[in-house]
Amino acid sequence: MLTRIDHIGIACFDLDATVEFYRATYGFEVEHSEVNEEQGVREAMIRISGTDDGGASYLQLLEPTREDSAVGKWLAKNGEGVHHIAFGTDDVDTDSEAVRDKGVRVLYKEPRHGTSGSRITFLHPKDCHGVLTELVTSAPGAPAAHDGE
């Protein structure tokens, strides 16, 4: 069951400049940064609030590490902006199968590695009224998974 807006994924050309924009404009601070080589992104997570499922909502700022990554190609076509939205669930396996059974294309056969050890999958935007949609389950012990422990 999807219980929160886990994050909004925002593609940018220059991660450091975009982080600085959010800090200077709104006072938002980065909680976590990492490079995800499989996804081909360098990312910064800005925590906006806690959510009543025990998790939290973030902005996820994404800079491609290579032009042929999904985010790199998307940026070349669209320019900077909202790349995807992500719903948090305590069971991405069950939820992605349920969505697949309803005829929505799930982009990965099995969930893959996401931010902070989470497990993620994506749904085809053409099956979701134009919205690239991620489902994410936080790693055990991560803040967003505390509620189920």
Nearest residue (CB) to its own copies, 113 versus 125: 125
Residues 6+ apart with CB under 8 A from 133: 84, 85, 86, 87, 122, 123, 125
Smallest distance, its own copies to C-beta of residue 75, A:
9
Contact with its own copies (CB under 8 A) among 32, 34, 65, 85 = 85
Q: Does 45 bind its own copies (CB under 8 A)?
A: no
Q: Is 99 helix (H, G, I), strand (E, B) or coil?
A: helix
Residues 6+ apart with CB under 8 A from 79: none
Nearest Cα neighbor of 140 from 128, 129, 127, 149 is 149
Nearest residue (CB) to its own copies, 104 versus 107: 104
Nearest residue (CB) to its own copies, 34 versus 147: 147
Nearest residue (CB) to its own copies, 37 versus 82: 82
Contact with its own copies (CB under 8 A) among 82, 97, 117, 124 = 82
Token readout for 59 is 């902005």
Q: Could you say which of 7, 39, 63, 83 is catalytic?
A: 7
Smallest distance, its own copies to C-beta of residue 116, A:
18
Cα–Cα distance, 37 to 104 (Å, whole number): 27
Q: Does 134 bind its own copies (CB under 8 A)?
A: no
20 is catalytic: no
124 is catalytic: no
43 is catalytic: yes
Sign of CA dihedral 9, 11, 14, 20: negative
Catalytic residues: 7, 43, 60, 84, 134
